[in-house]
Structure 1
Amino acid sequence: MKRKVVSALMVCTTVLTLMGCGGASNGAASSSSGAAPAAGSSTASSAKAAGAEGKNIVFMPKLVGIPYFTTCNDGAQEAAKELGVTCTYNGPTTADAAQQVTMLEDYISQGVDAIAVAPNDPAAMTSVLKKAKDAGILVMDWDTQADPSLTKVSVCQVNDQKFGEHMVDKLVEYMGKDSGQIALVTGGLSAANLNAWIKASKDYIAKKYPKLEIVNNGDPYPTDEKQDVAYSTTKDIMKAYPNVIGILGYSTPTAPGCAEAIRDLGLQDKVSLVANGVEADIQDVLSDGALDCGTLWNTQDLGKITIAVATYLLQGNELKNGEKIPGWDNPIMLSEDGHNVYMTETGSDYEKK
C-alpha cells in the first residue's frame, strides 16, 4: 500500500557520489546589439570580466517556456551580469533538435563567441557543433551531453548512475513494497541525460528489485517535454495497466503532469509517483499527495555555473580541479579526464512526510 504523507513540506538532501555526466518556431533572442527582444529570450551584459568584454555566449536550452529551463536562465543571466558578458538565451518552443540546429547555424553566421547547448538529440548536433568548433567558437554543452570530441567541457548537474538509482529507491519507499507493476515516463526519447537516468534505474531494478515489473516491455513513455502530454499519457497508462502502483517521471514536466492525472483519477492512495520537478512548480501536487517526491537540483545554479565556466574559458584560462573561478562560489569539480564539470555533490528531494 502506498505510504501516507501527512506532515509539512520539507526538503531532504541526498548525497550523490559524482562519477559521470550524464528557425521556424522559436523563442527569438535579444542581444546587446540592439535587436528587438521577443518572448522566450533574455540577455544580460556589462563590462567586468577582463578579456571577456563584449563576448556573447549563446545559452540554448532544449526548449523555452518550461520552469526548469526558465530558472536555469535566471541563474545564467545573474552570472552574465556579474561577469560583464552577454548571455543570449534562446531555444525552440518544442523539444525539436532540427530547430536547435537551424538556430545554431544562424548564431555561427553571426560570429558569436561561445555556444552552450542542451541538445535534444546529441547525434543531430554533431555537424553543426563541428562547424562551430571549426569557426573558432567555444563549444560547450550543459544539462545533456553532446559528442565530447566537439565540446570543450560538459557542465553536469549530478551523477547519472546515482541519480537513477536514487529515484528507484524513493519509489520503493513510497510504494511500501518492492514488487508490482511500475511505469516509466520520460521527456524525449533522444535526450541523453534522461536516457542515462532511465538506464541506471532499469539496471538497478534488475539487480536490487527483481520483483518489480516495468510495463510497456520496459520501455519509457515519451511526453515531448510537455506537461499536457504527461497528463494524457498517465491516464493512458492506467487504462492499459490498471495494476500499476508506481510511476517514475524523468524530465520536469512529468512531475505536475503525471500528478494531475493521478489526482483526477483519484489514485493518490494507490499510485506512487517520484519524478523530476522544479520545487516552485510542484507545491500543489505535493500538498494533495498526488506527487510523493520531486527530485532535482538547484536549477539556477546550473545556469550560473555554465556561464561562469564559459566566461573563464573565453578569458583564455584552463579549468583546474579544486580552484575557484569568478561567478561561481564553490571549487570547481572535474572528472578525471578534465572534460566534465560537476555542479554539486547533492541532489534535493522535495516531499511530504
Structure 2
Amino acid sequence: MARRTVTLVGLFILVFVSGCNTTTSNKGEFEVVYSKGNVKGETEKIEERQYTIAIVPKLVNIPYFNAVEEGALEAGEELGVKVIYKGPTVADSTQQIKVIEELIDQKVDVIAVSANDPDKLVPVLKRAQRKDIKVITWDSDTHSDSREFFINMVNPETLGRHLMDTLAWNVDETGEFAIITGSKSAANLNVWLNWIKVQQREYYPNMKLVEVVASDDDPHKAYMLAKDLLAKYPNLKGIIGNSSVGPPAAAQAVKEEGKMGEVAVVGLSSPNPMNEYLKVGAAQVVTLWSPKKLGYLTVALATNLVDGVHPSNQQDVPQVGRIHVIEDTVIMGEPMDFTKENVDQYDF
C-alpha cells in the first residue's frame, strides 16, 4: 500500500465554525470517496502519495452522522488523503460487519468505526489488523485488543451526569422520567446511561426513572416510543433522549399531545433538528459536541497513525483544538448546550 507523510503541525490553522449540512439526500447504503492531490502547509509540502482512510458510522442518513461525514471529507481534502465514508442504513452490527469486510477487501490503510456492538465487531476488526490495516474507533468503542485507540467526544461521566442535571433543572428535581436510548448494545450509550442513573441516585432522590426504551436510532421508532411513554405514564415529567434521534422524536410527541410545559425534553441532539422545538417550548435544552469536528479529528488522527504517530495529550489539532489523551482514549472536548436563546448561533 502506498504511504504518505503528513504532519498536522504544518497545516494552516483556521478558525473553526460548527456549520454542518444535515440534509444529505443519499438513499440506502452508500460510499463517498474524496481525494485530493498535494496540500501545502505553511512550512512544508506533502509528498504525492496516497492513503485511504475508511470511516464507518453506525448508520447513514441521520443528521448527526451526516455532519460527521462533512467533517471527514473536509479533512480528506485539506490533508490530501482519500476518504471513504460508508455505513449501513440501520444501526445493525451484522450490516456493519459486511461493510467492514468490503473495506478489508479494498485494502484500505485505516478503518475507523463507530461500533454498533462492542463484542460482535471484534472478529472482523482483528481480521483487518491481520491484513496490516490500522483500526481505530470513534463515537462508540469496542474491545481494546481489536483497535489501537478510541476517539471519544467528551468524558462519558461528565456527559451522563450533565444530561441528568439538565432534566432535573427543568422539572424542579421531582417526578417520573423516562429515557429513550439508541441501540441496547452500543457501548457509548450504555456508559452514558449508567452515569445518568448514578447522578439521579446520588443527587435527585425525588425523581424516579420509570423506563428505558431503545429506538435502535430509528427516528420513527423513537417517535412511536415517545407516544407510548406519554400514554403509559400520565404523570411523566420528563424524557431524556440518550441518542440523537431521541429528543426530536420526544419533542414532536410532546407537542402533538399538548404536553408542552408539562413534560420536559432534554438529551443529545444536533441544534438544527431541535431549533423549532426549543423555540416553541416542546424541548428545553439539548446537548452535543460538534460532530463535524469529530469527523475531521478522526481522519486527522488516522492519517497520523499510518505514519506511526499516535495522539498525545494536549496535542493541538488544526480545525479541532487541543485534545486530551487518557491511556488509549482520546477526548475531543467538552459538551455544548443548546437552548432557545442560543440555538440560532449554530448550524449543524
1:156-235 aligned within 5 A: 156-175=152-171, 177-216=172-211, 220-235=212-227
Give the drift of 1:52.
8.1
**Residue 60 of structure 2 corresponds to which residue in structure 1?**
64
2:94 corresponds to which residue? Answer: 98
In 2, Cα distance between equivalents of 1:251 and 1:324: 28
For 1:4, the equivalent position in structure 2 comes to none
1:343 corresponds to: 332
Q: C-alpha root-mean-square deviation of aligned residues, in Å?
A: 1.6
8 A contact 2:243–2:267 mirrored in 1: yes
Shift of 1:50: 4.0
Distance 1:62 1:51, change over 3 A: farther
Letter in 2 for 1:189: K
Shift of 1:51: 6.4
Mapped contact 2:38–2:47 kept (Cα < 8 A) = no
Three-state SS of the structure 2 residue aligned to 1:215 is: strand
For structure 1, which runs of at least 5 residues remain unmatched after alignment?
1-24, 32-42
Measured in 2, the distance between the counterparts of 1:52 and 1:95 equals 37
Tell me the distance in 2 between the aligned counterparts of 1:124 and 1:228: 26
- For residue 188 of structure 1, give the secondary structure of its aligned residue in structure 2: coil
Distance 1:78 1:288 in 2: 34
Could you report, residue by residue, the CA deviation over 1:141-187 in whole angstroms, capped at 9, with x for unpaired residues? 00011111111111110011111111111111111x22211101111
Map of 1:320 onto structure 2: 312
- Taking the aligned partners of 1:106 and 1:228, their CA distance within structure 2 comes to 29
Q: Letter of the 1:290 partner, please give it.
A: A
Alignment of 1:124-135 (within 5 A): 124-135=120-131
Displaced runs of 4 or more, over 6 A: none
Maintained 8 Å contact 1:52/1:311:
no
Counterpart residue number, 1:47: 38
Q: 1:320, 1:206 → 2: CA distance?
A: 35
In structure 1, what is the Cα distance between the partners aligned to 2:306 and 2:319? 15
% identical equivalent positions: 33
Distance 2:200 2:48 in 1: 47
Question: What secondary structure does 2:173 align onto?
Answer: coil
Structure 2 residue 297 is matched with structure 1 residue 305: yes
Give the Cα–Cα distance (whole angstroms) in 1 for the partners of residues 38 and 190 of structure 2.
40
Matches of 2:170 and 2:320, distance apart in 1: 35
Which 5+ residue runs of structure 2 have no aligned equivalent?
Answer: 1-26, 40-44, 342-348
SS in 1 for 2:73: helix
SS in structure 1 at match of 2:309: coil
User: C-alpha displacement at 1:110, in angstroms?
Assistant: 1.4
Residues 184-238 of structure 1, C-alpha deviations (whole Å, 9 max, x = no match): 111111111111111000011111112211113xxx1011112211111111011
Q: Does 1:81 align with 2:72?
A: no
Matched, 1:331 2:343: no
**TM-score, length of structure 2 as denominator length:** 0.85
Determine if contact 1:95/1:224 at 8 Å carries over to the other structure: yes
Q: Match of 1:257?
A: 249
Alignment match, 1:27: 29
Contact preservation (8 Å) 2:183, 2:216: yes
Partner of 2:262: 270
CA contact (8 A) 1:52 1:315 kept: no
Contact 1:50 1:315 survives alignment (8 Å)? no
Q: SS of 2:205's equivalent?
A: coil
Q: Which residue of 1 aligns with 2:18?
A: none
Of structures 1 and 2, the one with the larger relative CO (CA 8 A, separation 6+) is 1
Paired with 2:46 and 2:76, the residues of 1 have a C-alpha distance of 13
